[in-house]
Amino acid sequence: MVSRVIPVDDFDLVIFGGTGDLARRKILPGLYRRFVAGQMPAEARIIGAARSELDDEGYRQDVRDALKEFLAKADQSEEQIAAFLSRLHYVSIDARGEDGWKELNQLMRDGVVRAFYFSVAPALFGDLAERLHHHKIAGRDSRIVVEKPFGRDLESAKALNATLAEHFDETQIYRIDHYLGKETVQNLMVVRFANVLFEPLWNAQYVDHIQITVAETVGVGGRGSYYDKSGAMRDMVQNHLMQLLCLIAMEPPSRFDPDAVRDEKLKVIRALDPVDPADIVRGQYEAKGKANSYIDDVENDESRTESFIAMKLHVSNWRWAGTPFYIRTGKRLRARQSEIAVVFKDAPHSIFGAQAGRHRNILTIRLQPNDGMKLGVTIKEPGPGGMRLIDVPLDMTFADALGSDGEAVPEAYERLIMDVVRGNQTLFMRGDEVEAAWAWTDPIINGWQDRDDRPHEYEPGTAGPEEAAMLMHRENRRWRDIKE
Ligand SMILES: NC(=O)C1=CN([C@@H]2O[C@H](COP(=O)(O)OP(=O)(O)OC[C@H]3O[C@@H](n4cnc5c(N)ncnc54)[C@H](OP(=O)(O)O)[C@@H]3O)[C@@H](O)[C@H]2O)C=CC1
Ligand SMILES: O=C1O[C@H](COP(=O)(O)O)[C@@H](O)[C@H](O)[C@H]1O
């Protein structure tokens, strides 16, 4: 099935930090794929900006290298790459200096969408906003795209919101959470609100508990110094897992429109209870007797930062009262596996007697890999052996179901950047949402810092520390397997 590509309006996109890791690995390959898909208008331009002294040709060469390195071989076409590179320009600018802004201003066209991607360290966001305004490059109809982390606590997030608000209206600010751009994350809303089947059961009366797992096999890579100051709570829970939780738990918005959706997500965050320390397990990977323990990766023997966290949460509202949400995420785990499992309650009465055993429906929504859904259904075991029950899966991957024959589904960054050009903020976080998430996160982090808690060790290639399994076992529940 070939999906329809609707070209966006003509645009000039400036990528501050256009030579950095994120631009080279995600943003530029994503833009190239949209170009090849025919979504970029014929005149649209991309302008890289950073301190390095490069001219257009030098930048194009750098981006060519990045495309070769980060695009799948099947996506690489010399002809298309050359055509894409011809859209690229470069201006040397120091976010904290005054040089280069005039050149940038001269490059920008009137009458097209102007978008500015802040793919630089967060400490520079304010400088960029200030200078774009001062040099009259960004006006009331421009858009800025702000990368994570958006602050490291409530105070810094509020300060950042206030700085951006000095020069930009909320409708111009696109705070990226790339999980919202993932196809299956968007599908979550469609599955819930476009099918009559699930929503009547989507509450504490029928749902025993919900599990959200984002397991990674990678370690902290070259980002050790950033990660050691953040940990899994700030790096993943405050943003990505919180967004998944919101989409699973929220009430139906009246429309699929930015504020209607974000209002409902905000209500979920505000309904989260403070978390009991006994319901939190933090872990740090420790490769016994081998190199590449967490402390080697971050070069900090004293580190108490978590590379794994599991928690039990409660959303205190009528829909979810009494239904626990278990979330976990970690690095260097057994497999890359992100999924949400809605575990339904047992049937209220079994007509098949105790020997039929315990059976539950579980709806699993897989984010990655093999995006799809699985519904566990209980049936009779075939054969003459009496009424014996077994659980079987109704399993589908979205690719198979859609007959997409390997047709590339746009990656998160591709989709989100095109939404910026279209001016659609539905899949971006609003300022109050981010602040509410930090307001919930801060006391949890302060709590373990005040108690001087140490994370539990776990062996790379496992499902995390044993204590995380206990979090479930003590309540007669178990995590779903993280499978290789
Ligand atoms: N890399 C990743 O996987 C992810 C990154 N992010 C976020 O994206 C942002 C960028 O990260 P990343 O690409 O990894 O960082 P890098 O350190 O790889 O790149 C930083 C970029 O900013 C430029 N830069 C640095 N200082 C200045 C300055 N004073 N004025 C203008 N440009 C400057 C650098 O070029 P030059 O030195 O030439 O000026 C470079 O292009 C950060 O906010 C990060 O948190 C978010 C999620 C994932
Ligand atoms: O934002 C981040 O996300 C990645 C995981 O993203 P995914 O799309 O590969 O699931 C994580 O590795 C990184 O630490 C974090 O900053």
Per-residue pLDDT tens over the stretch 360-416:
999 999 998 988 999 999 999 888 878 889 999 998 888 888 776 555 678 899 999
Distance CA 319, CA 195 (A): 18
Residue nearest to atom 46 of ligand 1 (CA): 148
Choosing from 54, 119, 145 the residue with most ligand 1 atoms within 8 A of its CB, the one to mutate for a pocket test is: 119
Q: How far is the CA of 124 from the centre of ligand 1 (A)?
A: 10
Q: Which residues pair with 344 in a beta bridge?
A: 207
The structure tokens listed for 344 are 């339904």
Render pLDDT for 240-297 as a digit per residue (tens, 0 to 9).
999 999 999 999 999 999 999 999 999 999 999 999 999 999 999 997 666 789 999 9
115, pLDDT greater than 80: yes
Give yes or no for a contact between 319 and 249, defined as CB atoms under 8 angstroms apart: yes
User: What pLDDT is recorded for position 10?
Assistant: 96
User: What strands, in cross-sheet order, belong to the sheet with 45-50?
Assistant: 88-92, 45-50, 11-16, 113-118, 143-146, 173-175
- CB-based contacts of 460: which residues, under 8 Å, 6+ apart? 219, 285, 287, 292, 332, 333
The structure tokens listed for 115 are 């978008």
Which residue has tokens 């980060």? 70
Task: Please give, one letter per residue, the 3-state secondary structure of the chain.
Answer: CCCCCCCCCCEEEEEECCCCHHHHHHHHHHHHHHHHCCCCCCCCEEEEEECCCCCHHHHHHHHHHHHHHHCCHHHCCHHHHHHHHCCEEEEECCCCCCCCHHHHHHHCCCCCEEEEEECCCHHHHHHHHHHHHHCCCCCCCCEEEECCCCCCCHHHHHHHHHHHHHHCCHHHEEECCHHHHCHHHHHHHHHHHHCCCCHHHCCCCCEEEEEEEEECCCCCHHHHHHHHHHHHHHHHHHHHHHHHHHHHHCCCCCCCCHHHHHHHHHHHHHHECCCCHHHEEEEEECCCCCCCCHHHHCCCCCCCCCCEEEEEEEECCCCCCCCEEEEEEECCECCCEEEEEEEECCCCCCCCCHHHCCCCCEEEEEEECCCEEEEEEEEECCCCCCCCEEEEEEEEEHHHHHCCCCCCCCCHHHHHHHHHHHCCCCCCECHHHHHHHHHHHHHHHHHHHHHCCCCEEECCCECCCHHHHHHHHCCCCCCCCCCC
Ligand 1 site, residue 225, Cβ cutoff 6 A: no
Ligand 2 site, residue 339, Cβ cutoff 6 A: no
Ligand 2 site, residue 235, Cβ cutoff 6 A: yes
18 is in an annotated binding site: yes
Ligand 1 site, residue 21, Cβ cutoff 6 A: yes
- Strands 362-368 vs 143-146: parallel, antiparallel or unpaired: unpaired
Ligand 2 site, residue 62, Cβ cutoff 6 A: no
Over pLDDT 70: what percentage of the chain?
98
Q: Which ligand is nearest to the CA of 332?
A: 2
Q: How far is the CA of 21 from the centre of ligand 1 (A)?
A: 7
pTM > 0.90: yes or no: yes
214, pLDDT greater than 70: yes
Render pLDDT for 155-213 as a digit per residue (tens, 0 to 9).
999 999 999 999 999 999 999 999 999 989 989 999 999 999 999 999 999 999 999 99
Q: How far is the CA of 46 from the centre of ligand 1 (A)?
A: 17
Whole-angstrom CA distances from 454 to 231, 327, 459 are: 13, 20, 16
Q: Which ligand is nearest to the CA of 27?
A: 1
Give yes or no for a contact between 120 and 128, defined as CB atoms under 8 angstroms apart: yes
Q: How far is the CA of 40 from the centre of ligand 2 (A)?
A: 27
Q: How far is the CA of 167 from the centre of ligand 1 (A)?
A: 22
Distance CA 108, CA 176 (A): 24
Catalytic-labelled residue, pool 89, 167, 209, 240? 240
Choosing from 176, 240, 409 the residue with most ligand 2 atoms within 8 A of its CB, the one to mutate for a pocket test is: 240
In the chain the domains, ranked by start, together with CATH numbers, are 11-147 (3.40.50.720), 180-474 (3.30.360.10)
The structure tokens listed for 27 are 């943003």
Among the residue ranges 1-15, 102-116, 338-352, the one predicted with the least confidence is 1-15
Total Cβ atoms within 10 A of residue 369: 11
Q: How far is the CA of 143 from the centre of ligand 1 (A)?
A: 19
Answer yes or no: 134 catalytic: no
Q: Which ligand is nearest to the CA of 235?
A: 2
At 1, the pLDDT band (50, 70, 90 cuts) reads low
Ligand 1 site, residue 231, Cβ cutoff 6 A: no
At 433, the pLDDT band (50, 70, 90 cuts) reads very high
Ligand 1 site, residue 245, Cβ cutoff 6 A: no
Q: How many residues does the chain have?
A: 484
User: What pLDDT is recorded for position 102?
Assistant: 96
User: What pLDDT is recorded for position 408?
Assistant: 63
407 is in an annotated binding site: no
Give the atom of ligand 2 at the shortest distance from the alpha carbon of 148.
1
Give yes or no for a contact between 307 and 231, defined as CB atoms under 8 angstroms apart: yes
Ligand 2 site, residue 147, Cβ cutoff 6 A: no
Of residues 90, 84, 105, the one with CA closest to residue 42: 84
51 is in an annotated binding site: yes
Distance CA 285, CA 177 (A): 26
User: What pLDDT is recorded for position 404?
Assistant: 66
Render pLDDT for 13-60 as a digit per residue (tens, 0 to 9).
999 999 999 999 999 999 999 999 999 999 999 999 999 999 999 999
Of residues 39, 34, 6, 12, the one with CA closest to residue 112: 12
Of residues 218, 191, 180, the one with CA closest to residue 419: 180
Q: What's the whole-number average pLDDT of the chain? A: 94
User: What pLDDT is recorded for position 405?
Assistant: 57
Residue nearest to atom 22 of ligand 1 (CA): 17
Mean pLDDT, residues 51-71: 97
State which amino acid sits at residue 296. D
Residue nearest to atom 33 of ligand 1 (CA): 50
Among the residue ranges 108-117, 225-234, 280-289, the one predicted with the least confidence is 280-289
Ligand 2 site, residue 433, Cβ cutoff 6 A: no
Give the atom of ligand 1 at the shortest distance from the alpha carbon of 16.
32
461 is in an annotated binding site: no
Distance CA 286, CA 293 (A): 5
Residue nearest to atom 21 of ligand 1 (CA): 17
301 is in an annotated binding site: no
User: What pLDDT is recorded for position 3?
Assistant: 62
